[in-house]
Chains A and B, each alone.
Chain A
Amino acid sequence: MSTSQTPVLEVRNLSIALPPGSDRATAVQEVSFSVNRGEIVCLVGESGSGKSVIAQGMMGLLPKVLPVLGGTILLEGEDITTASAARLRELRATRMSMIFQEPMTALNPVMSCGDQIDEVLREHTRLSPEERRRKVLDVVREVLLPDPERIVASYPHQLSGGQRQRIMIAMALVLEPVLLIADEPTTALDVTTQAQILRLVQELQARHGTGVLFITHDFGVVAEIAHRVAVLRLGGLVELGDKHEVLKRPQHDYTKMLIGSVPTLEPRQTTPDASAPLVLETRGLDKTYRDRAWFGKRREVHAASEVTLQVRRGQTLGIVGESGSGKSTVARCVVRLIDPSAGEIRLGGEDIATLSARHLRPLRKRVQIVFQDPYRSLNPRRTVGEAIIEGPVNYGLSRDAALARARQLMELVRMDPGALDRYPHQFSGGQRQRLCIARALAVEPELLIADEAVSALDVSVQAQVLALLEEIRERLNLAMLFITHDLRVASQVCDHVAVMSSGKVVEYGEANEVFLRPKHEYTKALFAAAPGKDFVFGGG
């Protein structure tokens, strides 16, 4: 890293407006930072902090409603806030390029991957078709994709998420730009794939001396790859410095709070009482999806097979796994939102796996579920009061009694009982998740299922909701089934952990045991991939 040269990117006092009527005047307020050659700078912030707007501003991709109010963005000394559209087009891909969060939508589905990389070369170079072809294959090889000939000929839908993101990286780096902007490039990926992509970005960046502006909300990722860190809050820069400085000795209160909210990977110390009564027991639970095609082959997908789990009163069982591992299938079977293909679901000794809808209804209130997406979990056309009293009223409670209970529940989840007559869109994501918890608790369940319930939340809000769930479990002596892809979150709340992969439980035991002495290869791989696992965060 040489600081004698001009930095690759220098942002000075950048301000970008928000449309009138927004909750604040500017998306970005007087932000200054720089990226040097061969350096990775992480731009960290929660949702709404303006980090993606900065990236768009750099690429000249800002929508018209977000004009640049002032300041300069210097790319190798050249101001791009005043550059013409033609000049910007020249700069993109040759001097700076960008990779996005969602590799499926960032690639054109009707063009082969090779053609999409080739397009960059066609537009910006005068290479002959043979030279371009060689270059495309070279860059595909460089991002470590197997069988480049086949990959180049395939279309985005034929590749996995991680492979698509590699194609995006190949496209971004084929002309060796001096600056790479990565906007949450691993957020949509599974943790093991994320680890591979992060390693790849690091290797390529070191080899070519590229400056990287890496935008993320995940401090684990920051700890893994950053050289320097810039922390944003509500459009303003609150802290900027060396990774070790910022993560271990944060100065600003907000940074301290954020870093303190990052869950540790160390399992909490508990000795779950093995004699507590069983609330839920699944035996050989199996869910197979069959394609009943008229023509062609019948396909079978084993979403979950031979799942045997136990949850005891007052304890939390975590189901951990990557996408497609079958963890949500198990949850949805237990709530009987889908019907299991085989096996037993014993709820306090009674098998509910094959009960008819009519016989199931009286039992439904004993198991409640909180979903991942707080924006879709509440009916937008009903007040939150109506949402919370729906369950109790279904089970015969009078409206007045149910409303009284709803007010108590609002206090339990730390919300103002006076807000019961408001509509969901008037609440933030974290508040909505509290409302969903209140709705689930309204029918006094024995088992609460949290299906990725904190995954969509910002880290500080996540910490609050986790603490709330923990408090409720203790106070109401609830059994909890906690489903997550995030090992850090699991380590915070679970007494027992089941690790799932491809529909099977590969490891199951007390949290301490599984986290500290994993036995199965897959569990070990999962831990090895957790970003920032070796890093000790300061702050708090």
Chain B
Amino acid sequence: MPAPDTAKYEALSVESAAAVRQQSAWQRVKRNLSVRLGGTALAVLLLVALAAPFLGTVDPTLFDAASRDLLPGKSGEITTLEGETVKHTFLMGSDSFGRDIYSRVVYGTRVSLFVGVSTALLALAFGILLGLASGYLRWLDGPLMRVMDGVMAIPAILIAIALVAMWRGSLLTVVVAIAIPEIPRVTRLVRSLVLTIREEPYVEAAISLGTPTLKIMFGHILPNTIAPLLVQGTFICAAGILTEAILSFLGVGLPPDIPTWGNVMAEGRAQFNEYPHNIFFPGIFLAVTVLSVNILGDGLRDTLDPKMAKRV
């Protein structure tokens, strides 16, 4: 390399004046109303889940035959694990075993958020790997995508029911069972992104600079798929929360002793006419959670999707 020129750097005045000042994506995200709204609602729900023991709840598995089918706001008593009987106000009433619905719904938030986030992460992780492989290794593309097509042809809820029935219900099996039918969707998305990004000149430049294939996949292509994947992730999260509730409601999800919104609703089903609160309160929580995740996702899509951003 010859000695650097000591001449001053060329003034690019004409051109740099026309250079557009760009707002960073993160700034746009922070200013978006949907992101703020959905994000705040989710933050509150997360707080509720974490602080569940301190929100005037009792152990959600406790029951008392004397306090069966209480209406919301009624006082009654409940027996602790040590056999003591304590006074308790049933804010959302009690079910036909005399369990506190409020405590069960609040603790149910933990399960729902956990299931939603972990199904999204699991589906994204496998979808990214399969999508990168399919988009970058052409010989693998055909066989892999036909398998994915096959999985997509079966309704997601049926796959989940079959898998849980095979493995017996537990938190892990439910998460895996919900994530598996989402994987093909993520794979397709990642594959299509890879197919466009691999044609970009900066990827071709990396090839001509002798960059190994793996480094190109994870160093150049993957970082440029993050924005659409983040958006897709929120929608999987919302779908996962719903599917878990459906499985529990149908009695094929988590065991009935674990407090989840679906389980609470399932138990209230028989007495829905007399005691609608059994279904009403967990239903509200479920609706609000799914709605806020979806609103957050919409906001992220509006701010991160390059096609939408160009219109501003």
Interface residues, chain A, CB within 8 Å of chain B? 21-24, 46-49, 233-234, 254, 257, 335, 337, 361-362, 364-365, 367-369, 371-373, 376-382, 387, 390-391, 394-395, 405, 408-409, 411-412, 414-416, 425-431, 436, 439-440, 442-444, 458, 460-461, 464, 475-476
In angstroms, Cα B20 to Cα A427, docked, is: 9
Please judge, given known A-B contacts A390-B211, A431-B12, whether A378 and B202 are in contact too, CB under 8 Å: yes
In angstroms, Cα B12 to Cα A440, docked, is: 21
Q: Could you tell me if A379 and B202 are in contact, using CB atoms closer than 8 angstroms?
A: yes
Q: Could you tell me if A427 and B19 are in contact, using CB atoms closer than 8 angstroms?
A: yes
Closest 8 CB pairs of A and B: A48-B18, A391-B209, A411-B4, A371-B201, A428-B19, A364-B210, A414-B10, A381-B223
Least CB distance, B255 to chain A, in whole angstroms = 45
Name the B residues within 8 Å of A442 (CB-CB): 209
| CB closest chain-A residue, reference B224 | A381
Can you name 12 A-B residue pairings with CB atoms under 8 Å?
A46-B14, A46-B18, A337-B207, A369-B205, A379-B203, A412-B4, A414-B5, A430-B12, A430-B15, A431-B12, A431-B16, A460-B14
Given A377-B201, A394-B212, A429-B15, list of 9 further CB < 8 A pairs? A22-B20, A23-B20, A24-B17, A234-B18, A361-B212, A364-B209, A381-B224, A395-B210, A436-B205
Please judge, given known A-B contacts A371-B201, A381-B223, whether A475 and B2 are in contact too, CB under 8 Å: yes
Least CB distance, B224 to chain A, in whole angstroms = 6
| CB closest chain-A residue, reference B211 | A394
| CB closest chain-A residue, reference B197 | A379
Least CB distance, A43 to chain B, in whole angstroms = 17
Q: Could you tell me if A458 and B21 are in contact, using CB atoms closer than 8 angstroms?
A: no
Q: Could you tell me if A337 and B204 are in contact, using CB atoms closer than 8 angstroms?
A: yes
| CB closest chain-B residue, reference A417 | B4
| CB closest chain-B residue, reference A439 | B205
Please judge, given known A-B contacts A365-B210, A391-B210, A411-B4, whether A377 and B205 are in contact too, CB under 8 Å: yes
Name the A residues within 8 Å of B223 (CB-CB): 379, 381-382
Name the B residues within 8 Å of A443 (CB-CB): 209-210
Q: Is the interface of B mostly helix, strand, loop or mixed?
A: loop
Q: Could you tell me if B224 and A23 are in contact, using CB atoms closer than 8 angstroms?
A: no
In angstroms, Cα B206 to Cα A233, docked, is: 37
Q: Could you tell me if B224 and A415 are in contact, using CB atoms closer than 8 angstroms?
A: no
| CB closest chain-B residue, reference A419 | B9
Is B88's beta carbon under 8 Å from chain A? no
Least CB distance, B198 to chain A, in whole angstroms = 11
Q: Could you tell me if B9 and A415 are in contact, using CB atoms closer than 8 angstroms?
A: yes
In angstroms, Cα B17 to Cα A431, docked, is: 12
Is B208's beta carbon under 8 Å from chain A? yes
Q: Could you tell me if B5 and A23 are in contact, using CB atoms closer than 8 angstroms?
A: no
Is B22's beta carbon under 8 Å from chain A? yes
Is B59's beta carbon under 8 Å from chain A? no
In angstroms, Cα B20 to Cα A47, docked, is: 11
Q: Could you tell me if B205 and A461 are in contact, using CB atoms closer than 8 angstroms?
A: no
Name the B residues within 8 Å of A378 (CB-CB): 202
Q: Could you tell me if B5 and A412 are in contact, using CB atoms closer than 8 angstroms?
A: yes
Q: Could you tell me if A464 and B10 are in contact, using CB atoms closer than 8 angstroms?
A: yes
| CB closest chain-A residue, reference B5 | A411
Near A by CB (< 8 A), chain B positions 198-238 give 200-212, 220, 223-224
Q: Could you tell me if A376 and B201 are in contact, using CB atoms closer than 8 angstroms?
A: yes
In angstroms, Cα B19 to Cα A47, docked, is: 10
Least CB distance, A278 to chain B, in whole angstroms = 21
Partner of B22, one of A416, A425, A464: A425
Name the B residues within 8 Å of A373 (CB-CB): 201
Q: Could you tell me if A234 and B209 are in contact, using CB atoms closer than 8 angstroms?
A: no
In angstroms, Cα B5 to Cα A476, docked, is: 13
Name the B residues within 8 Å of A367 (CB-CB): 208
Q: Could you tell me if B209 and A439 are in contact, using CB atoms closer than 8 angstroms?
A: yes
Q: Could you tell me if B1 and A405 are in contact, using CB atoms closer than 8 angstroms?
A: yes
In angstroms, Cα B207 to Cα A364, docked, is: 8
In angstroms, Cα B7 to Cα A412, docked, is: 10
Least CB distance, B217 to chain A, in whole angstroms = 13
Q: Could you tell me if B18 and A364 are in contact, using CB atoms closer than 8 angstroms?
A: no
Please judge, given known A-B contacts A21-B21, A411-B5, whether A461 and B209 are in contact too, CB under 8 Å: no
| CB closest chain-A residue, reference B22 | A425
Q: Could you tell me if A377 and B208 are in contact, using CB atoms closer than 8 angstroms?
A: no
| CB closest chain-A residue, reference B21 | A23
In angstroms, Cα B70 to Cα A206, docked, is: 92
Partner of B15, one of A368, A416, A426, A458: A458
Name the A residues within 8 Å of B2 (CB-CB): 412, 475-476
Name the B residues within 8 Å of A391 (CB-CB): 209-211
Name the B residues within 8 Å of A414 (CB-CB): 5, 7, 9-10
Name the A residues within 8 Å of B9 (CB-CB): 411, 414-416
Name the B residues within 8 Å of A476 (CB-CB): 2
Q: Could you tell me if A371 and B21 are in contact, using CB atoms closer than 8 angstroms?
A: no
Name the A residues within 8 Å of B14 (CB-CB): 46, 233, 254, 257, 458, 460-461
Name the A residues within 8 Å of B208 (CB-CB): 335, 337, 364, 367-369
Least CB distance, A423 to chain B, in whole angstroms = 9
Please judge, given known A-B contacts A361-B210, A381-B223, A412-B5, whether A371 and B204 are in contact too, CB under 8 Å: yes
| CB closest chain-B residue, reference A63 | B311
In angstroms, Cα B2 to Cα A414, docked, is: 14
Q: Could you give, for residues 169-208 of chain B, a 1 whenever the CB lies within 8 Å of some chain A CB and a 0 otherwise? A: 0000000000000000000000000000000111111111
Q: Could you give, for residues 16-39 of chain B, a 1 whenever the CB lies within 8 Å of some chain A CB and a 0 otherwise? A: 111111110000000000000000
Partner of B220, one of A234, A379, A436: A379
Please judge, given known A-B contacts A21-B21, A23-B20, A361-B210, whether A380 and B224 are in contact too, CB under 8 Å: yes
